[in-house]
Structure 1
Amino acid sequence: MTLHPGLEVVSGLLGAWRGDGHGEYPTIEPFDYTEEVTFTDVCKPFLHYVQRTWSPAGAPMHTETGYLRIADGTRVEFVLAQPTGQVELAEGPLTKTAEGFTCELRSQVVNAGTAKRVEATTRRIELAGDILTTSFAMAAVGEPMTHHLASQMHRIS
């Protein structure tokens, strides 16, 4: 299989990543978690994405899945679905770096009728060699845009 040429700038994401994270938000107690993400080439102009998290005791916490699309090598479109009832379309600029890239994504969110209300999210993704760093903020349940999650993962495959 040959990677679609439009994905070359994010080819370093291919594989599985795992590491530790920390979460906080004004409406909950701070918490730690383990995160694992996988980016898979499907021979199309996008990567398939799966994310899962666990508590320090090993209990499942969150999961999401979607597709990472690259527009003209300079913009990211991240299409995500979450079992909590949200669908995100996160978009933003992609900046190449010596060891990978960074991107800052702002989202449009659609909430299912029974889901907790999420108005908007922002995501920052940084790839530097074999380290993948993420941060996530959200405006939700009546709170303004506020930092929620941060993780640092290392390549496991």
Structure 2
Amino acid sequence: MALHPGLSAVAGIIGTWRGRGAGEYPTIDSFAYTEEVTFTDVGKPFLHYVQRTWSPAGAPMHTETGYLRIVDGSAVEFVLAQPTGQTELAEGPLTATDEGFTCALASRVANSASAKLVDGTERRIELAGDVLTTHFAMAAVGVPMTHHLKSVMHRI
């Protein structure tokens, strides 16, 4: 199956990535985790995305799924659903680099009635060869936009 031409700017991200991460937030203790993300080409102008994390002891922590959409090779729309009761529509510019790309995304978040309140998120995704780095900030439970997570993953 040929890659949809609209995805050429992010073709390097297709596959599975795994690595270590660290999290912090004013309302919780700092923590470490292992993260795995998979971007799958499905023959359409978007990539399917699945993310999972585990504690250092191997206990499951978080998961999310969604779709990475590329608009005219210059913008990203990341549509995500989380079992914690949030959906995110994260959007922002896509910038090509010598080894891949970067994108800085700001989101609108919808919360289910039983979910903790998340007002917004910001994500930064950096692909440099076989290294994928993610940064995640959020405004939640009365705390303004604050760094929460960073991971550095390698292609597996």
Same fold (TM over 0.5): yes
1:5 aligned partner: 5
The two structures have a TM-score, normalised by structure 1, of 0.99
Q: Percent identity?
A: 78
2:113 aligned partner: 113
The two structures have a TM-score, normalised by structure 2, of 1.00
- State the shift of 1:78 in Å: 0.1
Q: One-letter code of the match for 1:32? A: A
Aligned residues: 156
Runs of 5+ consecutive residues of structure 1 not aligned to the other structure: none
Runs of 4+ in structure 1 deviating by more than 6 angstroms, as ranges, are: none
- State the shift of 1:146 in Å: 0.2
1:43 aligned partner: 43
Superposed counterparts of 1:68-87, under 5 Å: 68-87=68-87
- State the shift of 1:34 in Å: 0.1
1:66 aligned partner: 66
User: 1:41 & 1:9 partners in 2: Cα distance?
Assistant: 13
Q: One-letter code of the match for 1:141? A: V
Superposed counterparts of 1:1-157, under 5 Å: 1-156=1-156
Runs of 5+ consecutive residues of structure 2 not aligned to the other structure: none
Q: One-letter code of the match for 2:5? A: P
- State the shift of 1:37 in Å: 0.1
Q: 1:55-87: CA deviations, max 9, x gaps?
A: 000000000000000000000000000000000
User: 1:55 & 1:90 partners in 2: Cα distance?
Assistant: 26
SS of aligned partner of 1:11: helix
SS of aligned partner of 1:114: coil
